[in-house]
């Protein structure tokens, strides 16, 4: 297992470089001068502008800017934003916000998705199964942006059940509305996958053989059906969890949550390439770590894949 983890980690290095280089190139290619745009209509003395360009390496060629940004990341010297905010302090403040939102949203998604998916799979063609298929079809058809703004208006503005935006009311109240929307939208795909996987596994030959040998239903359920039915679900959950940061960019911006997603959105808007590369690197490392954990969990659920 250690060799497997090391092999995957080494393979991720060139991929990470390509990803961060591509993201940095997109930010670099955006038109306009970020320092002049920050100043607005106020005139900037040429000497001040030149000093600021040198401070943030904006007077260097593209590849030099990228390499300097990567050096700062690897050495832990994150520096400051164009506005003068310490990036390390920003990370310390914003990471807990994104983690709280992610954990709460996943708690909703996994609890509802696994419970209803497993129940519908074992009680297929019943009332709950048919209702689940209808509800999930509707949820999958609703665009995320529409759901976010509709939830804000209905439950925040009209009914006043939740705060419309911000984190002034603390955890968990300020996070409940965006987490519920994310969780319910994600629940639809998870529940349908869980239900389908259960149905296919229940009808598999090895389950019929286990029952023919006289094994009890509880043993068949816990030793044969659920471990095999969970394999595709684990993959889905891993990819979904790893992609949460991308979704947080939209969610945190709409609900004004001061997390990493909002920080990324602001950095892209202000064309702060160093911040974008840093956050992209954090997202990529998180993706790799989560996928490694998924592979390890795969090996626990199905010993046959440990040597693949």
Helix (H, G, I), strand (E, B) or coil at 249: helix
What is the predicted pLDDT for the residue at 154? 92
What is the predicted pLDDT for the residue at 178? 92
What is the predicted pLDDT for the residue at 308? 53
Other CB atoms closer than 10 Å to residue 93's CB: what's the count? 13
The domains of the chain, with CATH numbers, are 90-270 (1.10.3720.10)
DSSP assignment of 209-275 equals HHHHTT--HHHHIIIIIHHHHHHHHHHHHHHHHHTHHHHHHHHHHHTT--SHHHHHHHHHHTT-HHH
Contact between 35 and 49 under an 8 Å Cβ cutoff? The reply is yes
Q: What residues in the chain have per-residue pLDDT under 50?
A: none
List C-alpha distances in Å: 131 to 23, 216, 273: 42, 30, 47
What is the predicted pLDDT for the residue at 199? 85
What is the predicted pLDDT for the residue at 56? 80
What is the predicted pLDDT for the residue at 307? 55
d(CA 123, CA 106): 25
């Amino acid at each position: 297992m250690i060799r497997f983890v090391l092999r995957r980690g080494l393979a991720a290095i060139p991929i990470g470089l390509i990803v961060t280089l591509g993201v940095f190139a997109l930010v670099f290619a955006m038109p306009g001068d970020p320092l002049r745009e920050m100043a607005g209509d106020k005139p900037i003395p040429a000497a001040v502008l030149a000093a600021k360009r040198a401070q943030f390496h904006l007077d260097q060629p593209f590849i030099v800017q990228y390499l300097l940004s990567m050096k700062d990341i690897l050495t832990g010297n994150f520096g400051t934003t164009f506005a003068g905010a310490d990036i390390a302090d920003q990370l310390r403040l914003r990471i807990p916000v994104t983690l709280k939102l992610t954990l709460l949203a996943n708690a909703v998604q996994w609890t509802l998705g696994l419970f209803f998916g497993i129940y519908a799979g074992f009680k297929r063609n019943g009332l709950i199964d048919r209702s689940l298929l209808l509800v999930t079809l509707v949820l999958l058809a609703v665009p995320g942006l529409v759901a976010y703004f509709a939830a804000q208006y209905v439950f925040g503005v009209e009914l006043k059940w939740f705060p419309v935006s911000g984190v002034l009311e603390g955890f968990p109240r300020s996070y409940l509305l965006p987490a519920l929307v994310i969780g319910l939208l994600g629940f639809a795909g998870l529940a349908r996958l869980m239900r389908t996987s259960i149905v296919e596994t229940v009808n598999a030959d090895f389950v019929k053989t286990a029952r023919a040998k006289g094994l009890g239903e509880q043993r068949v359920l816990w030793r044969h059906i659920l471990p095999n039915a969970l394999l595709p679900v684990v993959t889905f959950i891993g990819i979904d969890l790893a992609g949460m940061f991308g979704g947080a960019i939209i969610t945190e911006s709409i609900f004004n949550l001061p997390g990493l997603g909002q920080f990324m959105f602001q950095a892209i808007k202000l064309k702060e390439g160093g911040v974008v590369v840093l956050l992209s690197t954090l997202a990529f490392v998180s993706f790799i770590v989560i996928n490694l954990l998924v592979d390890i969990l795969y090996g626990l659920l199905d010993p046959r894949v440990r040597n693949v």
